[in-house]
Amino acid sequence: MSSAGLELATIVSALVGAVVAMRRSRRAQRTITKLDALALRRPINRAPVAVLGGLLGALTYRQFGFSLEMVAYGLMIAMCIEQSIIDYATHRLPRGVTFRAAIVGGPLLTLAAINHDDNGRIGVMFASFVVTLALFALLAAFSKGGIGGGDVRLAPVLAMFLGWLGTSHVYIGLGGGFILGGIAAGGMLLTRRASTSTRKLSETISSSLTFAVKSTTIVLSLITSSVKSITD
């Protein structure tokens, strides 16, 4: 493809990503209203959501081109955006959103690996899923509510997608999540000695970090993949 064609395809992918992200934000808003009508105190600002979706759409195309894996990771991005918004407002992760991404994304990535004659990716992908599920189930058992069922369901699905890219991406994605989660936990510990108003501010910051954990997982992985493909 010519450079002009590549740039045009990237722009189209960014526009599609922005539109999908905005649609998912509207869907998330409806879900939030069903879960907790009081959680959404004001309408969602869709401008940053559209920008994030456009950025990820462009990165996904530049990494994978028009392919099965592009569709699969597009679904993952859409799921992350929707879940992040819902989690930000309600501290819940609806299982239906997670399961749909897994049920559709898993077979797509399996077909993509077969198409590339790289069956090793399939093994790494599902091994990442199983190991992460066991790890988060164990952490949930000992965290005394710090890690909920939604996290236990979401983490292995993210690991499955990241595992298809390689084990290093699993470490980057989940490791980054643990670091941000630790920062959030530290902030919450500090609020025990804070005033009510300060505690509310900290809860807002913690929710923002939760959003960052989920949305930056795929960003980090796609960027590192793009850098590797450029330098190879």
pLDDT at 44: 73
Question: Which amino acid, residue 45?
Answer: N
Average per-residue pLDDT for the chain? 78
Q: Which residue is listed with tokens 């025990």?
A: 192
Burial class (CB in 10 A: 0-12, 13-18, 19+), 187: middle
Q: What is the spatial distance between Cα 72 and Cα 105, in angstroms, rounded to a whole number? A: 5
Establish if 201 belongs to a structural domain: no
Establish if 61 belongs to a structural domain: yes
Establish if 76 belongs to a structural domain: yes
Question: Taking Cα atoms as reference points, which of 190, 213, 212 lies closest to residue 201?
Answer: 190
Q: What is the spatial distance between Cα 192 and Cα 51, in angstroms, rounded to a whole number? A: 35
Q: What is the spatial distance between Cα 229 and Cα 157, in angstroms, rounded to a whole number? A: 24
Q: What is the spatial distance between Cα 139 and Cα 174, in angstroms, rounded to a whole number? A: 14
Question: Which amino acid, residue 162?
Answer: L
Query: pLDDT tier at 197 (50, 70, 90 boundaries)?
Result: very low
pLDDT at 226: 47
Burial class (CB in 10 A: 0-12, 13-18, 19+), 199: middle
Establish if 209 belongs to a structural domain: no
CB count within 10 Å of CB 195 equals 9
pLDDT at 40: 63
Is residue 183 pLDDT above 90, yes or no? no
Question: Which amino acid, residue 102?
Answer: A
pLDDT at 29: 86
Establish if 38 belongs to a structural domain: yes
The number of folded domains in the chain is: 1
Is residue 198 pLDDT above 90, yes or no? no
Q: Residue 83: helix, strand or coil by DSSP? A: helix
pLDDT at 210: 44
Establish if 34 belongs to a structural domain: yes
Domain of 38, in residue numbers: 1-91
Mean pLDDT of 209-223: 47
Q: What is the spatial distance between Cα 225 and Cα 165, in angstroms, rounded to a whole number? A: 8
Query: pLDDT tier at 161 (50, 70, 90 boundaries)?
Result: very high
Q: Could you give the count of Cα atoms lying within 13 Å of 135 in the half-sphere of its Cβ?
A: 14
Establish if 4 belongs to a structural domain: yes
Establish if 105 belongs to a structural domain: no
Higher pLDDT pick, 92 / 200: 92
Question: Could you read off the pLDDT of 83-132 as tens digits, one per residue?
Answer: 888 887 888 888 899 999 999 999 999 999 999 999 899 999 999 999 98
Is residue 9 pLDDT above 80, yes or no? yes
pLDDT at 203: 43
Both tokens of residue 90?
């309600």
